[in-house]
Amino acid sequence: MALVLYRRHRRDCKAAHPEQLHTSEFDERKKGYRRCDCPIVASGTLAGRFRRQSTGTWEWDTAKALLAALEQAGSWDAQKPKPSQPPIAAASDPRRITILEATEAYMATCKHRGLQPSSLSKYRTSMNQLTAYSDSRGYLLLDQLTVADMDRFYASWKDGKRAGAKKLARLKAFVKFCRKRKWLSDDITEDLQPQQGSSIPANKTPFTDEELNRIYAACDVLGGPKPPGPGAREWTGSDLQTFIMLSVYTGLRISDVATFNIRERLEGNDVFLRMHKTRKPLFTWIPDWLVSRLKEMEQKNGALIFRTGQSLQMQTMAELWRVKLAKAFKIAGPFEEPPLPHRFRHTFVRILLEKGVPVADVAELIGDTEEIVRRHYARWVPERQARLTKILKDAFDDKPKPKLVALPGGRG
């Protein structure tokens, strides 16, 4: 009987595989497999003796070298071959840590900081991508990652300039976290720089009033039957209109609208936005007719007026409405700029600025700084244009002017 190799997982498996589970090298090459340092076992019959024997290693190459030595000697008593390179220290070495342990520790810290679920999701995605890259290279321990690995990892990204810059910042923060804990001796991301142009603010493009009217009209032909499954609810074009109106009148993000709890966030005509830095609640006002529409949806759906599926996960609830909005955008098109749900928030800002609401008040309502509002929404700030116009008039008021000469044909 030929000898075979398999990994036998321990109770304290770093990748949380079930105790006594057997996996092969082929299993571990599959995409998404979680690597660990559980021992590899050789099993089979030599010299008439069936036996299972630990190879004393978690590395497949070293285990296969031992297997070859055993088969060549025809005995279970063959000496273990010495690896050609110094063996990697055990993952239990207090000075070394696995990539999985490091990323999980970092995510635990991020959660403790109280980051929003949307932000946590981005950090988790970044850590999962780093883990997947490490798996593709056969790495288990954090200090196996090198500067060259970071170059290859960074070069593999398909993100846009700004998204890539933010992801790079998250990667650098992770490396800094590991260095502070002495898990890494060097900053392996030190030479990585964001793409040129990534620091240039993206243009904020609100919907125009004409585009909003087209989107509302598109909702009239939309709606859907109750989908299968427990907790599923019908939705109508009127529901979608109400969703959009609440977005435009409050500036709330799509995830906040999708999970809107009317009994917790609506007081009369005031919609709760968040706690202000003074620890006092901050509200925005909505008209009576919109309050009535929200109340009607409460009668139909309960407190979570925009819940249309079984899941209560914020990301899932928001994604369901992204799909519905995409249908309305397709009917209402074409648009000069991609019609994304976040543009409703920009529209909220645009409407306020066009009505002369001070920048400081607008910034407070959307939870941003005056500098950010001026930088991204400058073209809709009347006071800015008035100030620039006055500067130009004063600058050229006393400058020489040529005499007007009559043009041929009597035009002058």
C-alpha 172/C-alpha 165 separation (Å) is 10
CB distance 349 to 380 below 8 Å: yes
Which numeric CATH code is attached to 99-180?
1.10.150
Q: Which two tokens stand for residue 252?
A: 């709330």
Quick: pLDDT tens for 325-376: 999 999 998 998 899 999 999 999 999 998 888 989 999 999 888 888 888 8
Helices 117-137, 147-155: inter-axial angle, 10-degree rounding: 120
- The mean predicted confidence, pLDDT, of the chain is 84
Q: Could you tell me which of 218, 225, 207 has the C-alpha nearest to residue 326?
A: 218
Question: For residue range 380-396, what is the model confidence (pLDDT) as tens digits?
Answer: 876 666 777 778 888 88
Q: Is the pLDDT of residue 104 over 60?
A: yes
Domain spans of the chain?
4-73, 99-180, 209-386
Q: Which of 10-19, 201-210, 261-270 has the lowest mean pLDDT?
A: 10-19
User: Which pLDDT score is estimated for 209?
Assistant: 93
* 209-386 and 99-180 share a CATH fold: no
Higher pLDDT, 234 or 164: 164
For the entire predicted model, the pTM comes to: 0.57
Q: Cβ of 14: how many Cβ atoms within 10 Å?
A: 21
If you average pLDDT over residues 82-105, what whole number do you get? 63
Query: What is the helix, strand, coil percentage profile of the chain, to 5?
Result: 50, 10, 40
Tokens of 388: 């620039």
State the pLDDT confidence band at 81, using cuts at 50, 70 and 90: very low
Position 344 scores a pLDDT of: 96
pLDDT at 272: 92
* 234: confidence class by pLDDT, cuts 50, 70, 90: confident
Q: How confident is the model at residue 86, as a pLDDT?
A: 40
Closest Cα to residue 43, out of 100, 103, 2, 97? 2
The answer to whether the CB of 40 falls within 8 A of the CB of 23 is no
Is residue 82 predicted with pLDDT exceeding 50? Answer: no
What is the band of 88 on the pLDDT scale with cuts at 50, 70, 90?
very low
Architecture of domain 209-386: Orthogonal Bundle (1.10)
Tell me which amino acid residue 362 is: V
Query: Going edge to edge, which strands form the sheet with 4-8?
Result: 22-23, 4-8, 40-46, 49-54
Residues in Cβ contact with 326 at an 8 Å cutoff, skipping those fewer than 6 apart: none
When pLDDT is cut at 50, 70 and 90, the band that residue 84 belongs to is: very low
The string of pLDDT tens digits covering residues 190-231 is 999 998 877 766 668 899 999 999 999 999 988 766 555 555
Give the confidence band of 38 by pLDDT, cuts at 50, 70, 90. Answer: confident
pLDDT score recorded for residue 261: 95
Residue pLDDT, tens place only, 125-136: 999 999 989 888
Q: CB–CB of 362/266 below 8 Å?
A: no
> Tens digits of per-residue pLDDT, 302-320?
999 999 887 888 888 999 9
The predicted-structure confidence for 44-78, as pLDDT tens digits, reads as follows: 887 777 788 887 777 887 788 887 887 777 777 65
Mean pLDDT to the nearest integer, 155-166: 88
